[in-house]
Chains A and B, each alone.
Chain A
């Protein structure tokens, strides 16, 4: 048995306070409007860390900001053109209360940003952080991580992983850093009793039975691979998709970006990268108005194929993590759950 510990809920605040001395803290915070968002916390006493609701945002922007300066460029004369890197000021950060879906999304982002080439901006933000996850005893209304197979409990990727057992958390670690944290702050942790471990397993079994959505993801993956998705599904989806990009922005695994120059003066400017969405008509547009993808008809198709077909072919798993955020945000009714249901059950 791997070592498991108990952290009493009374000890959470003092424990976070200690870690906050060396790390910036990001956790789900409920703001005065009632929205729960992953937020940078300055003063622990002034915020309400909300572990009861699903954060509306994922961790994406903390590692891959919506807009970021890659470097500045300078062109004081026609024969002089030079570049200056911008120091990344981001401090070592503790991400607390990360759900299995968002943890899995981060592991997927690692593949995107570090496998083909090592993206310096991403790498810098990914280094020196601590990930403290939280298993989901109560899946939310639109969750389907049971279908994507990365939740509601997870056993890798984190430094520390918490399971809520009422008045206390069961704590596991995956990486050596997690073990170090426990040894450094041993006063907060007690060894877990066998009954605690049993209680965790019980919570897991119960959580698995609480999903409200039935999503036949495997079946959709199979149909895509065998090219059996009826054309009418794509037609319906592209007709209804409003091309707003909301799904891609909110999605923790949508990582496409654009790069552009932002002039500051006649001679200087910034090279900026910003989130993009493959559903946008400009995504594949080339000079001379030439587009190899019929965006009107195929934009949204490309998005679903990427997540459920091409990534499966490449990495053996879909890149949808079942967080359900796109279900909430899509007013066109063309989110991924709708697509899967249309494909598998003919439901529209």
Chain B
């Protein structure tokens, strides 16, 4: 059998180059494949994800949070959630884990060109959007970019270095909010929807990209609809239990779609054809 075939489920070893502690729950792992040739040839698009293997822990899907413009390493930003992600948090620079991918349908980057962009994220949800934002900035996106980011508390704010860098750009407005303030916090308190309420947007010229907990998604979708955003201009990502990531095991089914292959990126227009929990209740 050709070796490419045999490798469908076979991950490739990758070494941790650096661990960035984003907050107490999220770490960003900077990784490079151990095989230099493979590492050089590795490419992906914003919105795609990798299946991460950790010894004895199986695999978990994690979005790539870096931009493909910067070659040589990939970033995975991981929130502690269970067995594998906890084990990852115990890993350090020099340790080796394994990756396969990239998988999934990426964000429609070409359709973002020439449009105003609105990014709304909650918690770890900023990870895949970080890839999009940094790609847009690196490729000279000229129109306005609004980034709204919600965290539980000020100490939960992740990706601080990025947020700071984005805020310094002329065409970027980066606004943060927290559910609960802590001493020293003089920023906004409340849901991202409150921030959104204060934004001036041109719905017909804007693409909105959202990623975060279902509650947040629902609330933001409602507001965007009220403000006249068309369903095809609202783009989000779906999360489902996943095992094979290549469209066979069916764990990530959403009606006749599979998140690993047809997603994880979907427009609201596409999601409305399906019976998905995130849009209900």
Instruction: Report A's interface with B, CB cutoff 8 A.
Output: 70-71, 73, 75, 78-83, 85, 112-113, 115-120, 123-124, 255-261, 263, 267, 269, 271, 273, 276, 278, 283-288, 292-293, 302, 305-306, 309-311, 313-314
Contacts and interface: CB of A to CB of B under 8 A. Distances in A.
B98 interface: yes
Interface in B244-279: 244, 246-251, 253, 255-256, 258, 261, 276-278
Contact-residue bracket for chain B: 35 or more
Contacts of B11: 83
A313 B254 CA distance: 13
B1 A80 contact: no
Nearest to A285: B241
Contacts of B240: 284, 286, 292
B20 interface: no
B178 to A, nearest CB: 20
Contact of A119 (B56, B58, B248, B256): B248
A261 B247 contact: no
Given A78-B95, A85-B6, A292-B276, A257 B246 contact: no
Given A81-B97, A283-B241, A284-B251, A116 B246 contact: yes
Contacts of A305: 255
Q: Per DSSP, are chain A's interface residues mostly helix, strand or loop, or mixed?
A: mixed
Contacts of A123: 1, 5
10 contacts: A80-B13, A116-B248, A117-B8, A118-B8, A123-B5, A257-B243, A261-B56, A283-B251, A285-B241, A292-B240
Contacts of B248: 112-113, 116-117, 119, 255, 257
B225 interface: no
Contacts of B246: 116-117
Contact of A120 (B6, B58, B82, B244): B6
Residue of A113, A273, A292 with most chain B CB atoms under a 10 A cut-off: A292
Nearest to B277: A292
Contact of B251 (A83, A256, A263): A256
B21 interface: no
A259 B98 CA distance: 15
Interface string B36-64: 00000000000000000101111100000
B81 A288 contact: yes
Contact of B1 (A73, A124, A287, A288): A124
B163 interface: no
A81 B276 CA distance: 38
Nearest to B79: A287
A271 B100 CA distance: 14
B249 A120 contact: no
The residue among B1, B5, B81, B251 with the most chain A CB atoms within 10 A of its own CB is: B251
Given A256-B249, A259-B58, A120 B276 contact: no
A293 B98 contact: no
B114 interface: no
A85 B56 contact: no
Interface string B11-22: 101010000000
Name the residue among A120, A271, A288, A309 with the largest chain B CB count within 10 angstroms. Answer: A120
A164 to B, nearest CB: 37
Nearest to A264: B56
Interface string B81-122: 110010000011011111000000000000000000000000
Nearest to B239: A286
A256 B13 CA distance: 27
Given A81-B97, A257-B244, 11 more contacts: A70-B9, A78-B92, A78-B95, A79-B15, A80-B13, A117-B246, A120-B5, A255-B248, A284-B241, A285-B241, A311-B256
B10 interface: yes
B10 A287 contact: no
B8 A120 contact: yes
B248 to A, nearest CB: 6
A257 B249 contact: yes
A309 B277 CA distance: 19
Contacts of A263: 56
Nearest to A263: B56
Nearest to A71: B10
A305 B250 CA distance: 13
